[in-house]
């Protein structure tokens, strides 16, 4: 065996009828014997422990699942253990039923090579109906813009409002903490919005009341009603008289016989005068002023 230079090179095949010397021998991973190229297979050299490396799977006719047979165990025992533990007959239809294209009227069976998943609706379709208009795709789902805890809070309120129902004691503590935090956030937001709304309403009402009081005080300060020089209508304040003149007479300037009238208002008592001279006399007489520069 070997050569004079390499006396340990090569080994003889273990098969009795062969005994061929092979410089690149094969060692069986089950019986650990040395064989040549021709007898390296389990069946070629009739390996006595080859069944321990073999894998045998039997398809269950009830649930369509694969049952692996253990070489060290009786197949009947393996089969009985499968039937009593993990066999589910309801899975047979799911495992054996071939998946088809969901488009109505399409009978194309979906396989690995002709299946495309839509990015928007996330459903598998055949090549013919892979585009959105072909399978009437509803489009991507719109994100929920509402309050993120509304559904959870409404569900918890419904559970609390139901009579004769004991609260679940097996619920984890983090769920209760989460509900409390969500309720606190929502209550804070609602109170802030209510406070802001009330402050805005109060400021608006104060502004309106201030305008009304100034108008009424300016009217009562004169001690008499203001009369429109065009139509003779009387008003309690100069502001309402000016608004009346601008709205009724100045905007209706195309009417015949109507002339624009300029009213000068006293800066002290807000009394109106059609003649500037009368205004000056009023200031000197009633307010102790002077008409000199």
- 233-249, pLDDT tens digit by residue? 777 777 787 788 777 77
Residue 159, pLDDT above cutoff 80: no
Share of the chain above pLDDT 70, in %: 70
CA diameter of the chain: 149
Structure tokens at 39: 């007898």
Q: Can you give the pLDDT at residue 219?
A: 43
Q: Is 103:134 a contact under the CB 8 Å cutoff?
A: yes
**pLDDT of the residue at 13:** 93
What pLDDT, on the 0 to 100 scale, is given for residue 142?
Answer: 66
> What integer pLDDT is reported at residue 252 of this predicted model?
53
CB-CB neighbours of 52 under 10 Å: 11
Displacement of CA 141 from its chain's centroid (Å): 9
Q: Is the pLDDT at 187 greater than 90, yes or no?
A: no
Mean pLDDT value of segment 6-35: 87
pLDDT grade for 261, boundaries at 50, 70 and 90? low
Q: Is it the case that residue 292 has pLDDT exceeding 60?
A: no
Which residue do the tokens 């402050």 mark? Answer: 199
Q: What is the pLDDT of residues 96-129, one digit of tens each?
A: 778 889 999 998 988 888 999 998 888 999 999 9
**Dihedral sign from CA coordinates of 252, 253, 256, 258:** positive
Tokens representing 23 are 């410089």
Alpha-carbon span 24 to 20, nearest angstrom: 11
- Say what the pLDDT of residue 169 is: 46
| Each residue's pLDDT tens digit, 46-91 | 888 876 666 788 888 888 888 888 877 888 898 889 889 888 888 8
Task: Please give the average per-residue pLDDT across 167-196, as a whole number.
Answer: 67
Q: DSSP string covering 209-239, please? A: HHHHHHHHHHHHHHSS-EE-TTT--EESSHH
Average pLDDT of the segment spanning 23-43: 89
- Helix runs in the chain, H state only: 75-85, 91-96, 150-161, 173-222, 238-244, 276-286
Residue 181 pLDDT: 73
Tell me the average pLDDT across 195-213: 65
**Residues found in the chain:** 293
Residue with tokens 């060290």: 72
Placement of tokens 């070489």 in the chain: 71
């Amino acid at each position: 065996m070997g050569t004079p230079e390499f006396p340990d090179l090569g080994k003889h095949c273990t098969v009795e009828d062969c005994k061929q010397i092979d410089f690149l021998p094969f060692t069986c991973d089950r019986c650990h014997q040395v064989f040549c190229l021709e007898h390296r297979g389990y069946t070629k050299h009739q390996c006595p422990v080859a069944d321990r490396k073999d894998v045998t799977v039997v398809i269950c006719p009830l649930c369509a699942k694969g049952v692996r047979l253990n070489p060290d165990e009786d197949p009947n025992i393996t089969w009985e253990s499968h039937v009593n533990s993990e066999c589910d007959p309801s899975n047979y239809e799911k495992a054996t039923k071939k998946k088809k294209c969901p488009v109505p009227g399409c009978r194309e069976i979906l396989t690995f090579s002709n299946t495309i998943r839509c990015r928007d609706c996330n459903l598998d379709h055949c090549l013919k109906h892979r585009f959105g208009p072909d399978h009437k795709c509803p489009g991507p789902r719109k994100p929920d813009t509402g309050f993120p805890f509304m559904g959870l809070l409404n569900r918890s309120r419904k559970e609390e409002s139901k009579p004769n129902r004991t609260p679940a004691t097996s619920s984890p503590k983090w769920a209760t903490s989460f509900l409390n935090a969500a309720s606190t956030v929502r209550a804070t937001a609602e109170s802030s919005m209510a406070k802001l709304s009330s402050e805005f309403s109060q400021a608006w009402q104060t502004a309106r009341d201030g305008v009304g009081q100034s108008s009424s005080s300016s009217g009562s300060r004169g001690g008499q009603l203001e009369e429109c020089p065009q139509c003779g209508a009387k008003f309690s304040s100069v502001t309402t008289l000016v608004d009346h003149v601008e709205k009724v007479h100045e905007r209706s300037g195309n009417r015949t016989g109507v002339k624009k009238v300029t009213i000068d208002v006293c800066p002290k008592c807000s009394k109106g005068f059609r003649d500037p001279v009368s205004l000056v006399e009023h200031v000197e007489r009633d307010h102790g002023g002077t008409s000199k520069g």
